[in-house]
Chain A
Amino acid sequence: MIEGWNLVIGIEIHAQVNSKSKLFSSSPTDFGSKPNSQVSLIDAAMPGMLPVINKFCIEQAVKSGIGLNAKINKKSIFDRKNYFYQDLPQGYQISQYKDPIVGEGFVEIETENGQKKIGVERLHLEQDAGKSLHDQDPNFTFVDLNRSGIALMEIVSKPDMSSPEEAVEYVRKVRSILRYLGTCDGNMEQGSIRADVNVSVNKPGNELGTRCEIKNLNSFKFIHAAIVYEAKRQIKLIEQGESVNQETRLFNTQSGETRSMRSKEDAHDYRYFPDPDLLPLTLDDDWIKGLQESIPELPDKIKERFIKEYSLSSYDANIIVSDKATSEYFEDVVKNRNPKLVTTWVTGELFSILNKKNLIIEDSPITSKQLGELVDNIENGKISNRQAKEVLEEMCESGKGALEIIDEKGLSQISDENEIESLVDNVLNSNPENVKKYKNGKDKLFGFFVGEAMKLSKGKANPKIVNDLIKKKLSQ
């Protein structure tokens, strides 16, 4: 990124488990509910309450581990991570420290220089904290415990990324895998995925630099911007002969800067120890095997298949499989149709409509069946590509089907050769001068004839047939 400097990046992703109830209590996990309406006595850490673990959350963690090509630990332990904060009623977070449920794995990402393997150090289960609002009152902080106790999977990468682009690709890939697995909904706006990014810089050949951790980034854009800012800040410090302090920093989304939150000296001393309320979690082989067999086809595999089955380019395949809903939509449309045409219409026209309307594909105004019908009419020559764009827009506005619109607008393309031949003859006969010039070498006039013939047909003539016929007639 910056000439003469190496960047070393490691990322901790906090992904909310897609469960209905919390990790250790039966309170609901719905987003945006009335403050403190989803808090049990366990979540509020009333004396004498005992945590009972949610089986579904264990399953999702193991599934995610399998999706990250990781080792599943048959025995894992829950620990107390002690710190004092107003949105943590227990005074400790139940987490996993030395013995996480999932061990080492990896994900593959696309980079400028091809595929790159990014190591995963571990995945463990832990409780989320409550939420503090600092901006409601000048003198007080408001606390909402609805989020307190919701299950999170913390996924820790190895420091294998060396650019902000790779960091973003890695988070994208992990998010995509979790969404395919259905273990996390991946909704970044609602905070279902948050990233803490560790950044350090060093000169090639030198030892690693001191790292800083930037907390709580909840969009790809912020991850990128925070890394760029932080790397530049550290390089500037070193070039000025100063040193980087190991510290935790916060990213200001307004200014695009990071600022110190706490230094190493003030770092928490978490005093981890095994939670005496919870026995070790043991998993048996058959149960793990059963989960392995239930894992759906994941993006890397689907991509491989799309390239083989539909001859997609690696680039197109990547775009389509990065999102589960998109790849399902694509497969619905492509069945028994021309893959190249379908790819163009899905990643080109449909995406541009969705972007314009700021919609995700799940909310597409055009169903896969409707788009298929449109593609059919292009494939069988009834309408041209240009007409199809018009039809698609109309489909979007009116919700009507492609055929209905084609009939209504009298759009259907003329593909009848005799009919087109008479059009072409008409054009050539009424422009004898230009025909003579063309034959004397003025090649550019070819476009003129095509244009005239199309105009005469009110844009309905099949352009390919028009082209072929004019070429044929003029070479006679």
Chain B
Amino acid sequence: MEFDKKSLLKLGKLARISISDDKLNNLSKDLNSILEFVDQLKEIKTDQVDPTSNSLNQKLEVRDDKVDTKNSAEDILENAPEKEMDFFVVPKVIE
């Protein structure tokens, strides 16, 4: 899979990351080398295998509907770069 500049800019936009022109070349080279590496997986034939199957025959773990409050607002906001009145504060976003 070839990752061209257009796809890279689209990915950047979706992730809300601005990519400057001078970084485009290097980034696209890096990403392509990662993809090339991962592409080796394509050598294995998987068209008869379900995307989510696993070899351990496990079932999805479930839990009961029980409340367990582990953190206070203070805990959860501890790493927030900006906070006010118990809210996370981010640059104005209007959609």
Contact A86 B93 (CB under 8 A): yes
| A38 to B50 CA separation, bound complex (whole angstroms) | 36
Query: Per a CB cutoff under 8 Å, which of B15, B60, B86, B94 touches A279?
Result: B60
| A268 to B11 CA separation, bound complex (whole angstroms) | 11
Contact B16 A35 (CB under 8 A): no
Tell me if B54 is interfacial: C-beta within 8 Å of chain A: yes
The majority secondary structure among interface residues of chain B is loop
| A137 to B60 CA separation, bound complex (whole angstroms) | 43
Interface string of B53-90 (1 = CB under 8 A from A): 01000111111111111111100110000101111111
| A38 to B63 CA separation, bound complex (whole angstroms) | 18
**Which residues does chain B contribute within 8 Å of A38, judged by CB atoms?**
69
Contact A142 B88 (CB under 8 A): yes
Contact A36 B86 (CB under 8 A): yes
Residue of B nearest to A40 (CB): B70
Residue of A nearest to B50 (CB): A280
Contact B63 A52 (CB under 8 A): yes
B-side interface residues, number (CB < 8 Å):
39
Tell me if B52 is interfacial: C-beta within 8 Å of chain A: yes
A83-B14 CB under 8 A given contacts A39-B71, A142-B84: yes
Tell me if A1 is interfacial: C-beta within 8 Å of chain B: no
Identify which of A18-26, A316-324, A330-338 touches chain B. A18-26
Contact A144 B61 (CB under 8 A): no
Q: Distance (Å) between the CB of A229 and the closest chain B CB? A: 20
Contact A282 B60 (CB under 8 A): yes
**Which residues does chain A contribute within 8 Å of B92, judged by CB atoms?**
134, 137-141
Residue of B nearest to A266 (CB): B13
Tell me if A41 is interfacial: C-beta within 8 Å of chain B: yes
Query: Per a CB cutoff under 8 Å, which of A57, A83, A145, A278 touches B65?
Result: A57
A20-B65 CB under 8 A given contacts A134-B92, A279-B54: yes
A53-B71 CB under 8 A given contacts A83-B14, A142-B84, A279-B54: no
**Which residues does chain B contribute within 8 Å of A168, judged by CB atoms?**
none
Given contacts A37-B72, A139-B92, A141-B92, 6 further A-B contacts (CB under 8 A): A36-B86, A54-B64, A84-B14, A137-B84, A141-B91, A145-B76
Sample of 14 A–B contacts (CB below 8 Å): A28-B69, A34-B73, A39-B71, A54-B64, A55-B64, A136-B87, A137-B84, A140-B92, A142-B84, A142-B89, A143-B87, A144-B88, A268-B14, A269-B14
